[in-house]
């Protein structure tokens, strides 16, 4: 449908052609002499208006109610100029075939249903305008991400999902356990038998074949190993955080984009983050016009202006100390009081991005490179309006002795990071990178307020249905 209606003349140059449309019935209006079916195939927001007279083949299925909202159909007809004002062309139906009927209980009958309600119908919500548009923009952002890095000589690395190390050292990890059926009988029994662990059917071991293992919180450490061999690399994959927070910006499972640059410092890192963000934002503005207009009208007025600002304007760079000073000078009553050394909370980020402007770092992880002052690190966050922290990055500590001291200070085991320390033992180089939360980028680009609406199947505390 996008192919037919997406051009400048909205399909007029194809008038007279015989076409087949396959999709799902959005609405159906039966009038005395003619029936209108709005069909959508997900290629764009546009429906194909299919106009049917009683002499069309298959009309009886419409008349009997077999073809109803939510049903999938195959329609053949001639494209004609439309009488209506809503579209330039419509399909004059010659034949309709019901592919799959829709039970009358179909939950998305009404034009507008709340996003909260749709979260409980995650399997059907892509059939709505909002979620179809979010899915297409998310796809465009993923495509532009690969395009940007590939065009700039980066190599894509798949980092592991199961790992023994905790990149952020925050202990917010999900543990991997192994389910080992202890007998043939158990192996053959359906999965529903698993809770019966006590009767000896299943042996729950608290680990990954005898060793502790977790779901990764970040692919950074693995990316560093490849950056110190291939120079510029990036990861793009799922990451997991066991933080028990129910906010509109946190998921237990989210996708992260993590470039890592060798022979690079924090300035190079910030330049890369800025160029990347401007590139993907421009790509979406240029390639998702119809969806962006939709968001601008229905989701967040001004989202297009906000995106244009990011694509065109310079980012404000600010040191941590200056950000703290700015917050202190604001003389505002924050829920979390501000003082030098504290981690910035979302209320502070919002103040900086929405009332002051942009950019600043957070509490230091073990791998961040110590600055000459001995008390700060070469780290940065990129903050954007509406979302707050979109990117966190740093120059990595490439000096073996500094890194070992830092691990000791934080009581992290040097033994388990032996391979990471090896990178500093054999041909170490200054290097830097960042991580961008992909769902926060989708939120930023579409204006959807809740991060649960920026990913097809959100995983938050207590919700892993679908």
Positions touching Mg ion (CB under 5 A) are 392
Minimum distance from residue 171 beta carbon to Mg ion (Å): 15
Which partner from the list ligand 4AD, Mg ion, none does 23 bind, CB cut-off 5 to 8 Å by kind? none
Which partner from the list ligand 4AD, Mg ion, none does 241 bind, CB cut-off 5 to 8 Å by kind? ligand 4AD
In whole angstroms, how far apart are CA 371 and each of 87, 246, 342, 344, 375?
Answer: 61, 35, 18, 20, 7
In whole angstroms, how far apart are CA 179 and each of 182, 205, 287?
Answer: 9, 7, 46
One symbol per residue from 364 to 403: x for binding ligand 4AD (CB under 6 A), - otherwise; what is it?
A: -------------------------xxxxxx---------
Which partner from the list Mg ion, ligand 4AD, none does 145 bind, CB cut-off 5 to 8 Å by kind? none
Pick 11 or 392: Cβ nearer Mg ion: 392
Tell me how far apart the alpha carbons of residues 339 and 327 are, in angstroms, rounded to a whole number.
Answer: 9
Determine the Cα angle at 378 with ends 372 and 382, to 5°.
150
Nearest residue to 448 via CA among 128, 218, 42: 128
Under 8 Å between Cβ of 356 and 365: no
In whole angstroms, how far apart are CA 388 and each of 94, 303, 361, 379, 381?
Answer: 53, 15, 12, 16, 10
In whole angstroms, how far apart are CA 229 and each of 116, 148, 157, 223, 226?
Answer: 47, 21, 12, 10, 5
Minimum distance from residue 250 beta carbon to ligand 4AD (Å): 4
In whole angstroms, how far apart are CA 130 and each of 46, 136, 313, 317?
Answer: 12, 10, 28, 34
Minimum distance from residue 250 beta carbon to Mg ion (Å): 11
- Write out the binding residues for ligand 4AD, residues 65-94 only, by CB under 6 A: none
Q: Based on the number of CB atoms within 10 Å of its own CB, is 297 exposed (0-12), middle (13-18) or buried (19 or more)?
A: exposed
- Write out the binding residues for ligand 4AD, residues 27-66 only, by CB under 6 A: none
Tokens of 172: 């917010």
- Binding test (CB under 6 A) with ligand 4AD, winner from 26, 125, 136, 241: 241
Minimum distance from residue 168 beta carbon to ligand 4AD (Å): 5
Helices within 340-428 (DSSP H only)? 346-350, 400-409, 418-425
Determine the Cα angle at 21 with ends 20 and 24, to 5°.
155
- Binding test (CB under 6 A) with ligand 4AD, winner from 440, 442, 446, 452: 440
Minimum distance from residue 255 beta carbon to ligand 4AD (Å): 9
168 binds ligand 4AD (CB under 6 A): yes
- Binding test (CB under 6 A) with ligand 4AD, winner from 28, 157, 215, 256: 256
In whole angstroms, how far apart are CA 305 and each of 56, 296, 411?
Answer: 47, 9, 47
Under 8 Å between Cβ of 327 and 338: yes
Tokens of 237: 């994959």
224 binds ligand 4AD (CB under 6 A): no
254 binds ligand 4AD (CB under 6 A): yes
Which partner from the list ligand 4AD, Mg ion, none does 168 bind, CB cut-off 5 to 8 Å by kind? ligand 4AD
Tell me how far apart the alpha carbons of residues 149 and 259 are, in angstroms, rounded to a whole number.
Answer: 8
Which partner from the list Mg ion, ligand 4AD, none does 220 bind, CB cut-off 5 to 8 Å by kind? ligand 4AD
Pick 291 or 362: Cβ nearer ligand 4AD: 362
Minimum distance from residue 410 beta carbon to ligand 4AD (Å): 15
Tell me how far apart the alpha carbons of residues 341 and 189 are, in angstroms, rounded to a whole number.
Answer: 55
Segment interacting with ligand 4AD, rule: CB under 6 A, options 138-146, 152-160, 225-233, 251-259: 251-259
Q: Which residues, 6 or more positions from 203, have their beta carbon under 8 angstroms from its beta carbon?
A: 180, 181, 182, 197
Q: Residue 68: how many CB atoms within 10 A of its CB?
A: 18
Pick 359 or 392: Cβ nearer Mg ion: 392
Minimum distance from residue 440 beta carbon to ligand 4AD (Å): 4
Segment interacting with ligand 4AD, rule: CB under 6 A, options 134-142, 176-184, 330-338, 427-435: 427-435
Pick 168 or 354: Cβ nearer ligand 4AD: 168
266 binds ligand 4AD (CB under 6 A): no
Which residues of this chain interact with ligand 4AD, rule CB under 6 A? Answer: 167-168, 218, 220, 241, 243, 250-251, 254, 256, 258, 389-394, 433-437, 439-440
């Amino acid at each position: 449908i996008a192919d037919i209606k997406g051009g400048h003349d909205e399909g007029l140059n194809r008038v007279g052609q015989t076409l087949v449309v396959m999709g799902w019935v959005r609405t159906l209006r039966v009038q005395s002499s003619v029936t209108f079916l709005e069909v959508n195939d997900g290629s764009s927001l546009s429906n194909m208006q299919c106009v049917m007279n009683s002499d069309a083949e298959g009309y009886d299925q419409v008349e009997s109610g077999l073809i109803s909202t939510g049903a999938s159909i195959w329609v053949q007809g001639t494209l004609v100029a439309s009488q209506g004002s809503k579209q330039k062309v419509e399909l004059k139906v010659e034949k309709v075939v019901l592919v799959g009927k829709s039970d009358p209980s179909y939950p998305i009958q009404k034009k507008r249903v709340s996003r909260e309600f749709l979260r409980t119908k995650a399997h059907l919500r892509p059939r709505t305008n909002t979620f179809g548009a979010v899915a297409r923009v998310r796809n465009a952002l993923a495509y532009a991400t690969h395009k940007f890095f590939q065009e700039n000589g980066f190599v894509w690395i798949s980092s592991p999902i199961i790992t023994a190390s905790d990149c952020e050292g925050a202990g917010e990890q999900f543990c991997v356990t192994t389910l080992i059926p202890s007998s043939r009988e158990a192996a053959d029994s359906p999965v529903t038998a698993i809770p019966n662990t006590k009767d000896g059917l299943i042996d729950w071991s608290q680990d990954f074949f005898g060793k502790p293992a977790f779901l990764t919180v970040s692919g950074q450490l693995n990316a560093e190993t490849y950056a110190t061999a291939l120079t510029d690399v990036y990861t793009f994959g799922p990451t997991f955080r066991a933080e028990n927070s129910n906010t509109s910006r946190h998921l237990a499972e989210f996708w992260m984009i993590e470039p890592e640059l060798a022979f690079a410092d924090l300035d190079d890192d910030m330049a890369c983050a800025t160029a990347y963000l401007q590139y993907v934002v421009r790509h979406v503005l240029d390639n998702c016009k119809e969806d962006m207009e939709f968001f601008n009208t229905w989701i967040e007025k001004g989202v297009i202006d906000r995106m244009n600002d990011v694509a065109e304007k310079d980012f404000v760079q600010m040191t941590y100390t200056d950000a703290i000073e700015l917050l202190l000078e604001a003389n505002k009553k924050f829920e979390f009081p501000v003082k030098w050394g504290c981690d910035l909370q979302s209320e502070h980020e919002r103040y900086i991005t929405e009332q002051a402007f942009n950019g600043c770092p957070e509490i230091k992880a073990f791998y961040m490179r110590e600055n000459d002052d001995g008390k700060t690190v070469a780290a940065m966050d990129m903050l954007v309006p509406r979302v707050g922290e979109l990117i966190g990055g740093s120059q990595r500590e490439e000096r073996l002795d500094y890194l070992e001291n830092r691990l000791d200070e934080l009581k992290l085991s040097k033994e388990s990071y032996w391979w990471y320390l090896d990178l500093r033992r054999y041909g170490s180089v200054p290097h830097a990178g960042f991580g961008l939360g992909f769902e926060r980028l989708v939120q930023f680009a579409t204006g959807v307020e809740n991060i649960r609406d920026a990913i097809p199947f959100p995983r938050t505390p207590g919700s892993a249905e679908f």
